[in-house]
Structure 1
């Protein structure tokens, strides 16, 4: 990382904004009524592949734009995981985390989606489809299942990302690793998408959920705050587990 701390904070803000804009924007295109991606709320017309592509590109492109400046965390779970094993300074964890830069970036990205898709929100009467364009939920009505899904998914994501960025094959071309991480995110959404969404990132879920709760979103139902702790706590636990497993077997 070569940027000043101020530049790193800005990179995390704009990077998370782009992540949410492209990721949840793809969900809106797939779920909302009368969009080009879907005539009806739901997953028809290849919607889940559309969503996976949005999130994959939403991670890959900011990594290419800001990776050399901030390390492109875009995710409080990654920041905490790296601090736990000593490769990110604890002194900068608080200002780097959800309640300042990543969190605000996620909120800003979601507000842009709401503005762009406003006519389609007005036409979509399915409350759950509307919420799905903001935040995740426990589709099996099991917070335990949601926790396990988010924890395991984030552990695999962090383990894979550590391998891609630190593997010998990519030392001379970091953008190949960035493409690999984008593909990894897309694969995670495709493979683990059914149970929860998934979030794999506290900022990506909590920021947009707050927008859903506070703004006059057309046809919105409950924000399901009873579930909101799962996509916050489980990814942090999973990130610590994934990064420790990598360190134990392959070092840093």
Structure 2
């Protein structure tokens, strides 16, 4: 049964909502005053985001592909691995999902924002900034662009590799074609047992792939989180930043500038990195 495109859009929205809810929820838990997890550090955030990505990949990979990231969607489309006709809908669903996910984080941690009453810390639970900001906007943007583009290249290249090459679909197709060429009944017990074994292997491969993607993000946030916090996802940064912009102080405590001067970096740089990654992957393996 093939899921309709509306179901795929919904899956992308819910998947991105879960990503932001768990990921930015972890940041809030670690950084906001009064939280029992306050002070657990960057490694906790990396693991929180790794699990936050693994969750929708496991749930929605067979439905929408579980892109949950415009950089992934645009990268795949640019390499001819995803239809352009559905790119805008996927990105819109991802952005809406990110906004809803952040609203849920705010609902959970409202009182902790008020206890913290620090605009910089609050913004950090919504969107990314650059550690070089005090050295000037130009340095911060250049460093942020390089960091986000390289980090997203690694993320998208890994995601495509983990989910394209070895998910078992090729072996299932091979069994069916080989049986048909030999004139065998594809519904016979012997052929079906081979197909079933292949399906089981594909399912196991999916689990391993999802785990690998989650662990990859843990490593990438640990590596690339120092300069920028490692957005690696335009929706994950832009959606929550929009939420922060409209939130009153009565909800998030003291507010700081939303830093729109920097906001283009975690949107454009991941897209550039994702497109390059998908293109390189296609040139190598397709």
TM-score bin (small chain) = over 0.9
Look up the SS of the partner of 2:127 in the other structure. coil
Report the TM-score, using the length of structure 1 for normalisation.
0.93
Q: Hey, what does 1:137 align to over in structure 2?
A: 129
Q: Compare relative contact order (CA 8 Å, sep 6+) and give the higher one, 1 or 2.
A: 2
| Partner Cα separation in structure 2 for residue 189 and residue 88 of structure 1 | 26
Q: Hey, what does 2:152 align to over in structure 1?
A: 154
Out of 98, 102, 123, the position equivalent to 1:106 is 98
Q: Hey, what does 1:83 align to over in structure 2?
A: 77
Out of 44, 53, 65, the position equivalent to 2:59 is 65
Out of 227, 238, 249, the position equivalent to 1:195 is 227
| Partner Cα separation in structure 1 for residue 164 and residue 243 of structure 2 | 36
My pick for the range that moved more, 204-213 or 153-162, is: 153-162
Out of 251, 258, 275, the position equivalent to 1:223 is 258
Look up the SS of the partner of 1:111 in the other structure. helix
* 2:44 pairs with 1:50: yes
* 2:119 pairs with 1:127: yes
1:2 touches 1:70 (CA, 8 Å); kept in 2? no
1:91-140 Cα deviation digits (max 9, x unpaired):
1111111xx21001000000010010011100113221111000000111
C-alpha RMSD of the superposition: 1.2
Q: Hey, what does 1:41 align to over in structure 2?
A: none
Structure 1, gaps ≥5 residues long: 39-43
| Partner Cα separation in structure 1 for residue 126 and residue 70 of structure 2 | 18
2:18 touches 2:52 (CA, 8 Å); kept in 1? yes
Q: Compare the two structures and name the one with the higher helix fraction.
A: 2
| Partner Cα separation in structure 2 for residue 166 and residue 105 of structure 1 | 25
1:147-200 Cα deviation digits (max 9, x unpaired):
0000000001111112211233x5322121011001101111111111001100
1:29 touches 1:35 (CA, 8 Å); kept in 2? yes
| Partner Cα separation in structure 2 for residue 76 and residue 2 of structure 1 | 23
2:119 touches 2:253 (CA, 8 Å); kept in 1? no
Once the two structures are superposed, the pairs formed by residues 10-21 of structure 1 within 5 Å of their partners are 10-21=10-21
Out of 143, 162, 165, the position equivalent to 1:164 is 162
Per-residue deviation, 1:240: 0.6
Q: Hey, what does 1:240 align to over in structure 2?
A: 275
| Partner Cα separation in structure 2 for residue 94 and residue 158 of structure 1 | 19
| Partner Cα separation in structure 2 for residue 180 and residue 112 of structure 1 | 27
1:2 touches 1:68 (CA, 8 Å); kept in 2? no
Pick the structure with greater CA Rg: 2
1:102 touches 1:203 (CA, 8 Å); kept in 2? yes
1:23 touches 1:58 (CA, 8 Å); kept in 2? yes
